[in-house]
Amino acid sequence: MNFIKIKFTIYAFWIIRGTLYKILIIHMLERTNCIFLCSSFTHYINQYKNSTMGLVGKKYPHISAGAVINGEEIVENFSLDQYIGKKYVILFFYPKDFTFVCPTELHAFQAKLEEFEKRGAVVIGCSTDTEETHLAWLNTPKEHGGIQGVTYPIIADTAKTISLNCGVLGGEYVFNNETRTWSFVGNPVAFRGTFLIDKEGIVRHESINDLPLGRNIDEYLRLLDAQLHVEKYGEVCPANWEEGEAAMFATPAGVASYLSQN
């Protein structure tokens, strides 16, 4: 097998990220003694495994996609990089525009937007719909099931790669070697994933709800308050902690003191 064909095959499968077929390619490369390519591809496999595991404590996956901002303007190449060193980010995924639970969540985030902004955070939504569909939904009144009045950015993950990289896509692509065709197993939309990202671009919280389960927006304010407290005071925040309550230092004496008073 010549080098060009092997390289093309590797890149094709890397884009689709079908784990089973990556393993088969590695086996094929080993049989053809392509040691260098096999080593490189193993590196890509490890990258893939890391990206699909939890993102907490890691840099958020790179995002560059179309989006609607200010409830009315379509922009290209919207990226979270613009907030590095400046803002905390609440990035939330939802399944589809023009659906049922989704508008209640988007309106709920909008209702709390000022509270997030007071804490130095931005709110960003994302689904696998197009920018044009986002805009149409934004122009639909609330009483007709729309999200008119929402002003924070909404990303259009039409390639589904953002959802895939963040581990919230509701299925996976599968290649049928006999028919030489691709199919999607599962639901090709995003689950209700939510990520708290600090000013350095590190994910500090992630949670994923199934499609029928709406979020409690106040919980993300509480988590943001906790992150701000940890950074400011060097303390850790116990169960059910809320702003203004006692926290503790992460030491035996600290937990003993806290538990003796609570």
User: Smallest Cα–Cα separation from 198: which of 62, 109, 85, 82?
Assistant: 85
Please give the DSSP secondary-structure letter assigned to residue 55: -
Task: Please pick, among 102, 126, 166, 237, the residue that the annotation labels catalytic.
Answer: 102
Coil, strand or helix at 118 = helix
Cα distance between residue 105 and residue 128, in whole Å: 16
Catalytic: 38? no
User: For residues 227, 233, 234 and 237, what is the CA-based torsion angle, rounded to 10 degrees?
Assistant: -50
Rg (CA), the chain: 22
∠ Cα 185 189 190 (to 5°)? 115
| Spatial separation of the C-alpha atoms in residues 193 and 126, rounded to whole Å | 10
203-209 and 192-197 as β-strands: parallel, antiparallel, unpaired? antiparallel
Residue 210: CB atoms within 10 A of its CB come to 9
Tell me the C-alpha distance between 211 and 70, whole Å.
Answer: 26
In the block, residue with structure tokens 């389960």: 213
- Structure tokens belonging to residue 54: 């939890």
**What are the catalytic residues?**
102
